[in-house]
Structure 1
Amino acid sequence: MSNTAKKLTLFSLTWPIFIEVFLHMLMGNADTLMLSQYSDDSVAAVGVSNSILYLIIVMFGFITTGTSILISQNLGANKDRTAKEIAVTSLAANLAIGLMLSIGLFALSSHLLSLMNLQSELMEEASKYLKIVGGFAFIQALIMTNGAILRSYGFTKDAMYITIGMNILNIIGNYFFIFGPFGLPVLGVEGVAISTAGSRLIGLIVSFIVLLKRLDYTLPFSILKTVPKDHLKNLLQIGIPSAGEQLSYSASQFVITIFVNSLGTEALTTKVYTQNITLFIFMFSIALSQGTQILIGHQIGAGKYEDAYRRGIKSLKIAIFTTIVIAASFVLFSSDLFSLFTNNEKIIALGGTLLLINAFLEPGRSTNLVIINSLRAAGDVRFPVYVGIASMWGVSVLLSYLLGIVLGLGLIGIWISFLLDEWIRGILMVIRWRNKKWAEKSFVHGSSL
C-alpha cells in the first residue's frame, strides 16, 4: 500500500463517511426545516429546484465514481504515482464539466422549471434558487472530487470535518436570511440559496488545502500541460457506466416529480418532506456502501478476490439489519417527525402512510446500495446500469403513472412502485455478486470492462 494512504478497516472508513452523509442530509433538511417556518410554498419551490440540481450532481459522478475506483485499485496495487495522476486529471475534468453545467443552469433555469409543469406561484422563487445554487454548481463538482480522492486514500475524517464546517456556516446563513435578525433583510428562498453557495465556496477552499497537505504537496499538476488522454479515458470508461445508473435514477425521479406536480402543491410538499425524512433511514447504508467500495477496491487491486467477496456479503447483512431497525423506529414516530415540518394534518397523515410503505422498501434499497458499490469497486460497472435502467423506467416510472395517476392512488401508488423497483433490482444484484462474474473485471490487472 502507498505510504501516503492510510491503513484501512471498514469501521475506520465508514464512521466518518456516516457522519459526513448525515451532515450532508442535515444541510438539506436545515434548508427545508427553516424554510417551513417561512412558507410551505417555498419548501415546494426549493424541492423542485433540487430535483434538477440532483440530476446535475449526478453528471459530476461520471468523474468522481471513476476517481474512487481507479485510485483505490491503484493504491491496492502500490501504484502511488498513477493514483496521484488520476487525482489531478479528475479535478481538471470535473472543473470543466462543472463550469459548463453552471453556465447552462444559470441561463436556462426558467426554461427547465417550465418543463416540470411547475405551478406559476412557485416559479419565481424556484428560478431564483436554481440560478444561484446552479450557477455555482462547479464548486460542488470540485468538492465531490476532493472528497472522493481523500476517501480513497483513507482520509475520511477530513471530508467529515469539512462537511461539519459547511453545515455550521449554512445554518447560520439561513438564520440570517430567513429570520432577519439585527434588522437584516428577510430574503427567504434567495437567502437560502446564497447561504448554500457561500458555505460551499468556503468548504471548497478548505478542502483543497487539506488535500494538498495530506498528499504531501506532491500532486503532479504538470501532467495537465498536455491532455492526459489515457487517464481521462480510463475515468470515463469506468465513470460513464457507473454514473449511468445514478443518472437513470435521477432522470426517472425527475419524470415522477412531474407526475406529482399534477397532483397539486400539497402532494408535492408531502413528497419533499417524506423524502427528506427517509434520507435518514438509509444514510447508514450509504456510508457503509461507500466504505465497502473503498475497501473492496483496495482488495481487488491487491488481487484478494475472496476477501472482497466476503466483505460484500458481510456489509450487506449489516446494512439490512440496521435499516430494518431504523425504518421501524421512524414509522412509530412518524407524526412527530412530520410535525417538525408542518401543521397540515393531511400532509402528516399521508406522510405516515408513506413511511409505513418505506419500512418494507428500505431493505431493498440497502441491498442495492451495498452490492452495486461492491460491483463497481471490482470493475463490474455495466451490469448495474443495464438492470437499473430497465427497472427504474419499466417498474418505477411506469407503475408510478399507472398506480398513482391512472388508478388514482396518488403518492401511495407512487411509493408502491418505488418498493417494487428497489426489490427487483436488489435481488438481481445479489445474484450477480454471488456468481462472482465481477472477478473477471479488475481494471488495474488489465481485464476488459
Structure 2
Amino acid sequence: MKNKTAKLSLFAITWPLFIEILLYMLMGNADTLMLSQYSDNSVAAVGVSNQILSMVIVMFGFIATGTAILVAQNLGAKMDDDAREVSAVSIGANLVFGLILSAAVFIFSEQLLRLMDLPPELFEEANSYLKIVGGFSFIQSLIMTVSSIIRSYGFTRDIMYVTIGMNVLNVIGNYLFIFGPFGFPVLGVEGVAISTTVSRILGLLAAIYVMTKRVPGSLPVSMLFSFPKKHLKNLLNIGIPSAGEHLSYNGSQMVITYFIATLGTQALTAKVYTQNVMMFIFLFSIAISQGTQILIGHMVGAKEIENAYKRALKSLKLAIIISIATAALVSFFSKDLLGIFTDNMSIIELGTTLILLTIILEPGRSFNLVLISSLRAAGDVKFPVYMGILSMWGVSVTLSYFLGIHLGMGLVGIWIAFIADEWLRGLLMLWRWKSRVWVKKSFVPAK
C-alpha cells in the first residue's frame, strides 16, 4: 500500500486537527461558560479539579504518544504489519493503565483536593466532579489511543467528526443539568460531570467504529493483552520520556495553582477565565505541532531527513506568525471576551492585563509545541524532558513564587514567570533541532 499520509500536505492534515482541538477547548469552555451562569465558585471548583485531571490525562498520554510516533514511523518505513501490532498493544496497555488510575482518583479524590489547599467553600463541588469524571477517566485513555492510531494513518478528518459529536452531546447535557428544562433536575457541577462522562463514552464507541473502517486490515486482537516485549519496549522508550515532559509541566502548574489558591478564590477564578480565553490563541500552534509530528514521523521512517528538518522549521515560522497575530487580536477584544464569563470588573481588569502579556508569551510557547513534537517524532524524546524539568521548576515555579507571592505581584508576576520559562525552553529546543542530533534517534529502521 502506497502510504497515503506521506502524500498529504501540512494543511490537509492540520485543519481537521485544528477543528478537533478547537472543539475540545469549546467543550471545556462550555462547562465554564454555563457554570458561570450558575456560580463563580462552581467555576473555580471545576477549574481546580481539572488541574488534577490534567495530570491523569498526561499519564494516559505516554502510551498514546508512543503509539502515534511508532505507527507513523512504521508506516513511513512501509512496515504495515508492525503498525497494526503496535496499535493493538497500545490499546490493551492503556486500558489496563487507565482502569488503575481511574480507580486511584475515585478512591483518593478528597486527599488529592486537600493537597491543593482548596478554599472550604469549593471542596464539596470539586470532590463531586473529580469522583465522577476521574472515576471514568479510563474512557479518555482509550479515546486518546484510538485517536492517535487513526491520525497516524492520516484520517484526521474522521476524528474531527467524532469530536464534533462529543462536543454537541456535552453542551446538550450541560444545558439539561444546569438549567433544568423539561423537568430535568438542576445538578450543577455534578450534572456537568455526568454530561462530560456520557459524551466521552459515546465518543469512544464512535472512534472504535471509525478505526475498524479506516485502518487497513484488522488489528491482531491476540496482542491486545499479550504485550510483546519488542513493541511494549519501544512504546515505553518513547512514551515515558514524552510523558515526563508533560508530567513535569502539569506538576509545576499544580504547584503554581497552589500558590494562586493562597491569593483567594477571585485569583483562582481569574486564572481559569483567562486561560480559557488564552486557549484560543495557542490552539493554532497545537494543531500545527500535531500535524507536523505526523509528517515528520513518516519522513523519519522513510529516512527523508532533509525534508523532516525543513518541515519543522517551516512549521515553526508559521506557528509564531499566527500566534502573535492571534494574541494581539484577542488582547484587543479581551474585556468583551472575559465579559462573556463574568461581570466582576476586578476579574476582567486583571484578566485583560494577563492576556496583554500573552502577546509575549505565545511565540515562546510556539517554539516548544512545534519543536518538541518534531524532536519526539524523530525519536529524540529525552532532551525535552531534561530541559523541561530544569526550566519549568527552576524558572517557572521559582519565579512564580518570587514574583507572584514574595514580591506581591500576584498573577501578573506569575505570568511573567510563564514567559521566561517558555522562551528559555523554546530557544533550547531550536538549538537541539538545528544540531541534528535527532537524525540517529529513529526507533524504526527502513526496510
Sort the TM-score into its range (normalised by shorter chain).
Answer: over 0.9
Cα contact 2:6–2:298 (8 A) shared by 1:
no
Cα contact 1:7–1:154 (8 A) shared by 2:
no
Task: Name the structure 2 match of 1:365.
Answer: 365
Query: Are 1:265 and 2:265 an aligned pair?
Result: yes
Between 1:222-231 and 1:140-149, the stretch displaced more is 222-231
1:157-213 deviation digits (Å, cap 9, x = unpaired): 011000000000000000000000012110000000000000000000111011011
Cα contact 2:91–2:224 (8 A) shared by 1:
no
* Root-mean-square deviation over aligned CA pairs: 1.1
1:48-447 counterparts in 2 under 5 A? 48-216=48-216, 218-224=218-224, 226-445=226-445
SS of alignment partner, residue 341 of structure 2: coil
- Please give the TM-score of this superposition, normalised by the length of structure 2: 0.98
Q: Which amino acid aligns with 1:109?
A: S
1:225 is displaced (CA, Å) by 6.2
Task: Give me the whole-angstrom Cα distance separating, in 2, the residues matched to 1:14 and 1:224.
Answer: 30
Cα contact 1:6–1:155 (8 A) shared by 2:
no
Cα contact 2:44–2:269 (8 A) shared by 1:
yes
Q: Which amino acid aligns with 1:208?
A: I
1:441 is displaced (CA, Å) by 0.8
Task: Give me the whole-angstrom Cα distance separating, in 1, the residues matched to 2:306 and 2:3.
Answer: 25
1:259 is displaced (CA, Å) by 0.3
- Long gaps (5+) in structure 2: none
SS of alignment partner, residue 263 of structure 1: coil
- Change in Cα spacing, 1:197 to 1:23, as seen in structure 2 (3 Å) is same
Cα contact 1:117–1:258 (8 A) shared by 2:
yes
Task: Give me the whole-angstrom Cα distance separating, in 1, the residues matched to 2:277 and 2:413.
Answer: 19
Task: Name the structure 2 match of 1:44.
Answer: 44
Q: Which amino acid aligns with 1:39?
A: S
- Change in Cα spacing, 1:6 to 1:423, as seen in structure 2 (3 Å) is closer
SS of alignment partner, residue 444 of structure 1: coil
1:93-120 deviation digits (Å, cap 9, x = unpaired): 1001100011011111111001100011
1:339-397 deviation digits (Å, cap 9, x = unpaired): 00000000000000000111100000011100010000111101110000000000000
Cα contact 2:92–2:225 (8 A) shared by 1:
no
Task: Give me the whole-angstrom Cα distance separating, in 1, the residues matched to 2:8 and 2:235.
Answer: 23
Cα contact 2:55–2:251 (8 A) shared by 1:
yes
Q: Which amino acid aligns with 2:9?
A: T
Between 1:7-16 and 1:248-257, the stretch displaced more is 7-16
Task: Give me the whole-angstrom Cα distance separating, in 2, the residues matched to 1:393 and 1:225.
Answer: 37
Q: Which amino acid aligns with 2:251?
A: A
1:7 is displaced (CA, Å) by 3.5
Q: Which amino acid aligns with 1:209?
A: Y
Task: Give me the whole-angstrom Cα distance separating, in 1, the residues matched to 2:249 and 2:210.
Answer: 32
Task: Give me the whole-angstrom Cα distance separating, in 2, the residues matched to 1:383 and 1:80.
Answer: 29
1:216 is displaced (CA, Å) by 4.2
Q: Which amino acid aligns with 1:61?
A: G
Cα contact 2:4–2:154 (8 A) shared by 1:
no
- Change in Cα spacing, 1:222 to 1:360, as seen in structure 2 (3 Å) is same
Cα contact 2:292–2:370 (8 A) shared by 1:
yes
Cα contact 1:2–1:75 (8 A) shared by 2:
no
SS of alignment partner, residue 8 of structure 2: coil
Identity across the alignment (%): 65
Count, aligned residues: 446
Task: Give me the whole-angstrom Cα distance separating, in 2, the residues matched to 1:105 and 1:150.
Answer: 28
Cα contact 1:6–1:153 (8 A) shared by 2:
no
SS of alignment partner, residue 281 of structure 1: helix
- Change in Cα spacing, 1:208 to 1:399, as seen in structure 2 (3 Å) is same
Task: Give me the whole-angstrom Cα distance separating, in 1, the residues matched to 2:267 and 2:223.
Answer: 51
- Long gaps (5+) in structure 1: none
- Change in Cα spacing, 1:4 to 1:99, as seen in structure 2 (3 Å) is farther
Task: Give me the whole-angstrom Cα distance separating, in 2, the residues matched to 1:118 and 1:217.
Answer: 50
Between 1:220-229 and 1:338-347, the stretch displaced more is 220-229
Cα contact 2:290–2:373 (8 A) shared by 1:
yes
Task: Give me the whole-angstrom Cα distance separating, in 1, the residues matched to 2:441 and 2:217.
Answer: 33
Task: Give me the whole-angstrom Cα distance separating, in 2, the residues matched to 1:225 and 1:269.
Answer: 43
1:282-330 deviation digits (Å, cap 9, x = unpaired): 0010000000000001000000000000000100000000001000001
1:62 is displaced (CA, Å) by 1.1
Q: Which amino acid aligns with 1:19?
A: I
Task: Give me the whole-angstrom Cα distance separating, in 2, the residues matched to 1:439 and 1:321.
Answer: 27
- Please give the TM-score of this superposition, normalised by the length of structure 1: 0.98
Task: Give me the whole-angstrom Cα distance separating, in 1, the residues matched to 2:101 and 2:54.
Answer: 12
Task: Give me the whole-angstrom Cα distance separating, in 1, the residues matched to 2:227 and 2:179.
Answer: 49
Cα contact 1:4–1:214 (8 A) shared by 2:
no
1:233-287 deviation digits (Å, cap 9, x = unpaired): 1100110011110000000001000000000000000000011110110001000
SS of alignment partner, residue 108 of structure 2: helix
Task: Give me the whole-angstrom Cα distance separating, in 1, the residues matched to 2:316 and 2:6.
Answer: 24
Task: Give me the whole-angstrom Cα distance separating, in 2, the residues matched to 1:35 and 1:196.
Answer: 13
Cα contact 2:177–2:186 (8 A) shared by 1:
yes
SS of alignment partner, residue 425 of structure 1: helix
SS of alignment partner, residue 443 of structure 2: coil
Q: Which amino acid aligns with 2:393?
A: W
Task: Give me the whole-angstrom Cα distance separating, in 2, the residues matched to 1:118 and 1:70.
Answer: 40
Cα contact 2:61–2:243 (8 A) shared by 1:
yes
